[in-house]
Amino acid sequence: MSSGSETPGLVCAHHHLYSTLARGMPAPPRVPHDFASILELVWWRLDRALDLEMIRWSAMLGALEALERGTTAIVDHHASPNAIEGSLDVIAEACQAVGVRSSCCYEVTDRNGATGMRAGLAENERFLKSGGKGFVGAHACFTLSEASLEAVAGLASDLGAGVHIHVCEGNLDDGAGARLESLARDNWLLAHCVHLDRPLRGTIAHNPRSNMNNAVGYARPARWHNTVALGSDGIGADMLEEFRIAYARHREDDVTATPLSAWSWLEGGYALVPEARTDTVTWSYEPLDPWHLAFTPGVRPLEVVVDGEVVLRDGLPTRVDPLEVRTRAREQAARLFALL
Ligand SMILES: [Zn+2]
């Protein structure tokens, strides 16, 4: 919190940069009627069609949109079953090119067979061993056998990394609490925890807008003692807006809730990317008090400094041409949509 017009850089604690091109995609063959069919008809159709060039420009646009909203660190969770090897380098390079920090992982899952599972595991290992920052990624317990889940936890333990995994996002993952109870560690990142039935070790990434979008219910993150951070789950990286939605949902559930809780969740992102605390965002509004920001629309960054370098000046990125990024992203979106 700050009383002036500056804050540290904001953190998006759970993103899917590969979904940035999804806006405007062709409608699914039939209307999804629950969370499982949303995954099958929308997201799993999309991720299977991705190649490395689409991933690059999807990540470039996502990173640009993050920077334009004062978000200097993205904790990404990636899936592209037909372009796995090297995909995490492409995402990390895109974030670096724009000037935002990244933490990457590849989602290990059994939904594309044993070969796909092993390739996902290998991409996490390759990326982290080559010095990349991030987690070992896992989709969710309901698409992982016991052996696959243990392989994920084992690799993370061997590499001294945490696991970034979806937990109880919808009812179809209700068994996750019991399966993760003995595996989860303090350095794990648990996305959603909407239907979680017991405490687990790790940081919780709360994604209030996405949870509404998928009609999975309210996660009630205030019920846990864990550190809570805010994520977008792939719907942009406007973390001030996510804070405002987090507050509104908290208040809807508990009329005594104040914006200070949602603000503390926004600051929970520094547990994941501490370096973002050293970044500086100068905003168009002051004071940057949670009680003001929860009720003030349109607050925008004027200048952003990451690692000592001005990467946004007068609201415009300094490292990339935003028009070119948007043009290239639109070209890749057209290629992608033609495959769906
Ligand atoms: Zn997610």
Total residues found in the chain within this entry? 340
C-alpha of residue 195 to centroid of ligand 1, in Å: 15
**Confidence band of 31 (pLDDT split at 50, 70, 90):** very high
Tell how far the Cα of 140 is from the centroid of ligand 1, in angstroms. Answer: 10
Buried b (16+ CB within 10 A) or exposed e, 14-41: bbbbbbbbbeebeeeeeeeeebeebbeb
Question: Ligand 1 centre and the CA of 142: distance in Å?
Answer: 14
State how far the alpha carbon of 138 is from the alpha carbons of 34, 210, 225, in Å: 22, 19, 23
CA 272 / ligand 1 centre spacing (Å): 16
Indicate if the pLDDT at residue 88 is higher than 80.
yes
pLDDT in the model for residue 4: 77
Which residues are bridge partners to 165 per DSSP? 138, 190
Rounded Cα–Cα distance for residues 60 and 49 (Å): 18
Cβ atoms of 71 and 10 within 8 Å: the answer is yes
Dist. CA 77 → ligand 1 center (Å): 7
Contacts of 314 (CB under 8 A, 6+ apart): 302, 303
Return the closest-CA partner of residue 87 out of 57, 114, 51: 51
Residue 39 is given by DSSP the state I
Centre of ligand 1 from the C-alpha of residue 191, in Å: 7
Which range is least confidently modeled, 30-39, 63-72, 91-100?
A: 30-39
Which residues line ion ligand 1, judged by CB < 5 Å? 233
How many whole angstroms separate alpha carbon 168 and alpha carbon 190?
9
Listed in sequence order, the residues at least 6 apart from 157 whose beta carbon sits closer than 8 Å to its beta carbon are 185
The answer to whether 72 and 101 have CB atoms below 8 angstroms apart is yes
Q: How close is the Cα of 204 to the center of ligand 1, in Å?
A: 12
Using the predicted structure, report yes or no on whether residue 25 has a pLDDT greater than 60: yes
Q: Say how many Å lie between the CA of residue 103 and the centre of ligand 1.
A: 14
For ligand 1, the distance from its centroid to the CA atom of residue 150, given in whole angstroms, is: 21
182: number of Cβ within 10 Å: 8
Q: Select from 216, 235, 174 the least CA-distant residue to 14.
A: 235
| Alpha-carbon span 118 to 113, nearest angstrom | 9
Which one, of 97, 132, 129, 102, lies nearest residue 273 by Cα?
Answer: 102
Average pLDDT taken over every residue of the chain: 97
Q: Is the pLDDT of residue 225 over 70?
A: yes
Ligand 1 centroid to 314 CA: how many Å? 32
CA of 169 to the centre of ligand 1 (A): 9
Q: How far is the CA of 14 from the centre of ligand 1 (A)?
A: 6
Report residue 90 as tokens. Answer: 């492409």
Q: Which residues pair with 171 in a beta bridge?
A: none
15 has which bridge partners?
A: 76
Sorted by where each begins, the domain ranges of the chain are 6-339
Does 2 have pLDDT greater than 80? no
Q: Rounded to a whole number, what is the distance in angstroms from the first to the last CA of the chain? A: 44
What is the pLDDT confidence band of residue 234, given thresholds at 50, 70 and 90? very high
Residue 1 has pLDDT above 60, yes or no: no
CATH topology of domain 6-339: TIM Barrel (3.20.20)
Ligand 1 center to 23 CA (angstroms) = 16
What are residue 51's phi and psi, to 5 degrees? Answer: -120, 175
User: What is the DSSP code (8-state) at residue 79?
Assistant: -
pLDDT at 200 over 90: yes
Tens digit of pLDDT for each residue in 33-58? 999 999 999 999 999 999 999 999 99
Is residue 291 classed as helix, strand or coil in its secondary structure? helix
pLDDT at 111: 95
Extract the tokens encoding 72: 């200097």
Q: How far is the CA of 205 from the centre of ligand 1 (A)?
A: 9
Cα separation, 77 vs 166, in Å, equals 10
CA of 321 to the centre of ligand 1 (A): 29
Place of tokens 């979106």: 333
Which residues are 29's β-sheet partners? none
Rounded CA-CA distance 189/170 in Å is 17
Distance CA 161, CA 44 (A): 27
29 CA distance to ligand 1 centroid (A)? Answer: 23
Give the model confidence (pLDDT) of 291-315 as tens digits: 999 999 999 999 999 999 999 999 9
Query: Ligand 1: distance of its center to the CA of 233 in Å?
Result: 5
